[in-house]
Amino acid sequence: MPKTGDTPDLATPSPPAHGARPGGLAAMRRRLEVQELRLKAVLDSLSQGLSLYDSEARLVLCNQQFLDIYRLPPECGTPGTTFRQILEARIAGNTHVGDDAEDYVADRLGVATARRALGAIHRLNSGQMISVTHQPMADGGWVSTHKDVTELHNLQAELTHLAYHDPLTGLPNRTLFYRRIGAAFDELARHPGLAVLCLDLDGFKPINDTIGHAAGDVLLRQFAARLAACLGPDDTVARMGGDEFAVLHRGTSETACALASRIGEATHAPFELDGRVVSVAVGIGIAVAGRDGAETDALLHSADLALYAAKRDGRGGIRSFDPELDRAETDRRRIEVELKHAIAMQQFELHFQPILDLGTEAFAGFEALLRWRHPERGMVPPGDFIPVAEATGMILPLGEWVIREALAEAARWPADLRVAVNVSSVQLVRGNLPTILTQALAHSGIAPGRVEIEITESVFLANSDESLETLRRLRALGVRVALDDFGTGYSALGYLLAFPFDKIKIDGTFVRALSSAESARTIVSAVADIGARLGMQTTAEGIEDAEQLRAVHAMGYSEAQGYLIARPMPREAVRRLLTAAFDRMPEAPHERVAG
């Protein structure tokens, strides 16, 4: 047997050196036994399994780890055991690879005769993952090492799973979802029909806030399960974060809409969380590949815009993308950029619209209405930019300016005239309004009772507890609070009981419908009665003709406001009006329309 360098040949113990002491045969045998024991100790101390075969594919030696890894009986470790016998023992112990035992034996024998160095990870039928190296030796045999890497492999698989899945629901996460859409786009030619649905739960936050995050988690898991049950076999659902989910649907825009309805239905049934029953709704935006987006980002963006629109429609809305949404979004972005600039450049001004006291027939005060004097587009009405200012938080500095400006202006008017200021729900929740008003009152020196804050019903939709708390603190300052645009929002009479408003302002749309719709007359008149019974003042907005004025007067409204009386006007016009009309009767005010 050829020997390479000084490496001791493990296969056969070295013959005794020349000149060994005669009669030392027994001693030599002992030495050999000792050597063998040492070798075995070394082999068994290895962390890996090791096996060595000769050129006839017979085992020369192996260690205990080798036998353990493959669950081989001790006799398999006897030198001289053939490779085939070992393979057969592995088949018996189910530590082979693949279903076909004969194939497996042929394959391994092939590797042995190929005489090439190899390294691979084998997944055994027992489930173990074994890292194997195969190294041919110069004598025609080979040595192989075997390491059980099952745990490492599982850990890696777990890490990979974690990187691509949401731990709470077990659903794919945003990263995996993006990949799946990318893959779906790649095979779109072969497998057409791809749509994305963006979903967002309505009413999740209050549940999470009131009954706790643990219950919120249960709700999300239950919702995820219902969602998964709605899908087709090729669809994927992912949790994008918080209460946002998304579905990749393989199908047409029609099947996507049908899927959205199924999801809406499935969400409809109440959820039971630790004995409590709660209900939520789901807003869904749909975008179809090709028509609404030619790649992942564009498609998701379109589905997102559709979702915003669906949420604007109210609880449980479903919307498909349409290019108009994109234009609106572009407008919104442009306004956002311009608004920032406008705040810096002080392009805003306040106009004031008189409010007529129907009892005294004198002005009760003025409502401050914000105007944006745009350098190119002229006067921009608040409806065009306030929603953007609210969505971006820019309403906070802007609203603060309105309050300071309005109170400072009112300080120049006779002391019995009020000033009304509109505030948005964003200001009530995040705006630090009590402090701002305290400062503005101190700065202007006007009595708190001359200031009226107008809020709309939207305040009751989000964070109503915080909003009500702010309203109470404003009231504690002595400031009055009015409920604006009554009847247009989600109109629950309960809102009137939630807070003791000083005034209800019925929306102009009802007043304008007085002559055409009998139901409008009923509503307008009922609101006057409700106000009277609750001890709240009532203002009829949007009075454009004398008939309307007479009608609301007859119904018992305390105040009226509208183009008939006067349009909103710049502060200089108010000053002129007030100095001209000492008795402050509403005669010939500036910009008055013919009635």
Q: Which residues of the shown chain bind Mg ion in the complex (CB under 5 A)?
A: 422, 454, 484-485, 541
How far is Cα 104 from Cα 88, in angstroms, rounded to an integer? 10
CB of 484 to Mg ion, least distance (A): 4
Mapping DSSP to helix (H, G, I), strand (E, B) and coil, where does residue 192 land?
coil
Q: What is the 3-state secondary structure (H, E, C) of 285-339?
A: EEEECCCCCCCHHHHHHHHHHHHHHHHHCCCCCEEECCHHHHHHHHHHHHHHHHH
- The nearest distance, CB 243 to ligand C2E, in angstroms, is 27
104 or 348: CB nearest Mg ion: 348
Cα(34)–Cα(508) distance, integer angstroms: 107
Among the candidate windows 113-121, 208-216, 475-483, 541-549, which touches ligand C2E by CB under 6 A? 541-549
User: If binding is defined by CB under 6 A, does position 63 make contact with ligand C2E?
Assistant: no
Q: Is 568 in the site for ligand C2E (CB under 6 A)?
A: yes
DSSP state of 131: E
Partner from ligand C2E, Mg ion, none binding residue 88, C-beta < 5-8 Å depending on class:
none
CB 441, CB 448: distance < 8 Å: yes
The DSSP call for residue 249 is E
Residue of the chain from 184, 240, 246, 369 that contacts ligand C2E (CB under 6 A)? 369
* CB nearer ligand C2E, residue 309 or residue 565: 565
Choice between 136 and 562, CB closer to Mg ion: 562
Question: If residue 378 lies in a helix (H) or strand (E), which one and from where to where?
Answer: strand 378-380
Q: Identify the residue among 316, 347, 526, 563 touching ligand C2E (CB under 6 A).
A: 563
Question: Could you say whether residue 353 binds ligand C2E (CB under 6 A)?
Answer: yes
CB 437, min distance to ligand C2E, A? 14
Looking only at residues 442 through 501 of this chain, which bind ligand C2E when binding is defined by CB under 6 A? 454, 484-485
**Which option in ligand C2E, Mg ion, none does residue 202 bind, with CB closer than 5 to 8 A by kind?**
none
Choose the binding region for ligand C2E from 44-52, 128-136, 422-430, 444-452 (rule: CB under 6 A): 422-430
The partner residues of 287 in beta bridges, in order of sequence, read 196
Query: Residue 200 and residue 263: Cα distance in Å, rounded?
Result: 12
Q: Identify which range of 20-28, 213-221, 317-325, 375-383 contacts ligand C2E by CB under 6 A.
A: 375-383
Closest approach of Cβ 549 to ligand C2E, in Å? 10
Which of these, 279, 328, 280, lies nearest to 302 by C-alpha position? 328
Q: 405 or 454, CB closer to Mg ion? A: 454
The whole-angstrom separation of Cα 378 and Cα 551 is: 36
The CB-side HSE value for 215 (13 A sphere, CA atoms) comes to 18
402 binds ligand C2E (CB under 6 A): yes
Which residue of 63, 424, 537, 539 would you call a contact of ligand C2E, by CB under 6 A?
Answer: 424
Q: How far is the CB of 377 from ligand C2E (least distance, A)?
A: 15
Which one, 82 or 432, has the nearer CB to ligand C2E? 432
The neighbouring-strand residues paired with 286 are 197, 320
- State the helix-helix crossing angle for 174-186 and 150-164, rounded to 10 degrees: 80
- Taking alpha carbons only, the member of 536, 469, 524, 526 closest to residue 496 is 536
- For Mg ion, give the closer residue by CB, 185 or 401: 401
Residue 556 neighbours by CB under 8 Å, 6+ apart = 528, 529, 532, 538
Nearest approach in angstroms of CB 497 to ligand C2E is 22
Between CA 193 and CA 201, with CA 197 as vertex, the angle to 5 degrees is 165
Please, what is the minimum distance in Å from the beta carbon of residue 541 to Mg ion?
Answer: 5
**Residue 163 is inside which H or E element, if any?**
helix 150-164
Q: Residue numbers of the site for ligand C2E (CB under 6 A)?
A: 353, 369-370, 381-383, 386, 399, 402, 422-424, 454, 484-485, 508, 541-544, 561-563, 568
